[in-house]
Structure 1
Amino acid sequence: MNKLVVGGLVVAALGFTTACQKKVKLDTDMKKASYAIGQQIGGNLKQQNIDFDADALAQALKDASAGKNEMSKEDMQAAMMKLQEMAMKKQQEAADTNAKAGKDFLEKNKSAANVKTTASGLQYIVEKEGTGASPKKEDVVKVHYKGTLTNGEQFDSSYDRGQPAEFPVGGVIPGWTEALQLMKVGGKSKLFIPPELAYGPSGRPGIPPNSVLVFEVELIDIVKQQAAAKKTK
């Protein structure tokens, strides 16, 4: 049977939807801890875009704690398989819709002011021309960045974390690998990355399948592999 791991808790995913049975007053440490566990479970399911019924989930937790089960192992396995089928269908529908929307966005965006398009389909705007060297694929770079979907919804930001990120130029999505080698240290660019140069039909948590990704990138420094290796020792 498929399982979801939430923090240290393993939850058997049965097939649930959205609501709560009744409002519980969080007036004891046990209730607060239980609520925290529930938040982890619900958040994990939402992040994985899994539809669930909160009433059924709450009842299952209550029954399990009492040693009861309304379903046989065979029925639970069948329910899980059905859930997986529905999730795959939902993901495919979303991927098809996003692919078309992304293609339309990029087609329109390529004629916007200052947008350059490479042979791969990567689009970018140079917002500030750097004066330093350009990184190579084998280099490690230090960057600040913010990533959003085309609707402006943010999914990641090193600025919010208050610390630049360091990673190999060749160890990220193809759109980043290409774009970084077009930049110079001290430069800033805005990237419009097609799904085939990003996460494609699989997507990621917070990134729907076949999404065009928009990044604001500031190339702070190039850290050669040898220097990066010394730092980690």
Structure 2
Amino acid sequence: MSIHIGIGGWTYEPWRGPFYPAGHPQKRELEYAGQHLTGIEINGTYYGSQKPETFANWAEAVPDGFRFSVKASRFATNRKILADGAASIEKFLTQGLTRLGDRLGPILWQFMATKKFDRDDFAGFLDLLPETQDSLPLRHAIEVRDESFRDPAFIDMVRARNMAIVYADSDEFPCIDEQTADFTYARLQRTQEDVETGYDDKALDGWANRARDWAKGDRDVYLFFIAGAKVRNPAAAQALITRL
């Protein structure tokens, strides 16, 4: 099993001081993050494409065993008819993200909170997601943010494709606590600025136990501290890594 814990992105000015040492070169922030965390969720790919060389450089900046998850393009997920998104999905997957090589973790497909479950349309969308790209196996994590997705039909169709439903620890979005794949993807979004480690000791102990439970049976775990009090997310990730 492997448990990868990290944050969303690595470029954020308020992290300079609390996380990145004073005077640390900004161009080496990813290298530093790779030495202190075990995963990062790349969010910039949600807004636009990157060059293949950029992905290759990111892979070179982090150590063996580190994993990036890659957030899929909004042009693939923020559309009225999801099953019509084949061209956008292909454009996203062929931009060069496989240059991450063995540092590539799951692809995160995030849907707007206004998107409701439509059985046929959603099944059509999931059928567009390939199992491999450039001979590299792909894993897909599905983040839905409307209560209509508690439908057993949604859970069954995701499980049948070995895709993970994102576990969301959030005040805004529902949490669908179902294991549907050979990996778990969790996004923890309740860090508090008045707590140095984002979550208090009791909560972090609980997440450590939860991560161990998720990892049973050789299931990989990807757990990211996202949003909330963003300035505290690196400290939260490091505190959880220490516990594990």
Tell me the TM-score normalized by structure 1. 0.20
TM-score normalised per structure 2: 0.20
Higher-Rg member (1/2): 1
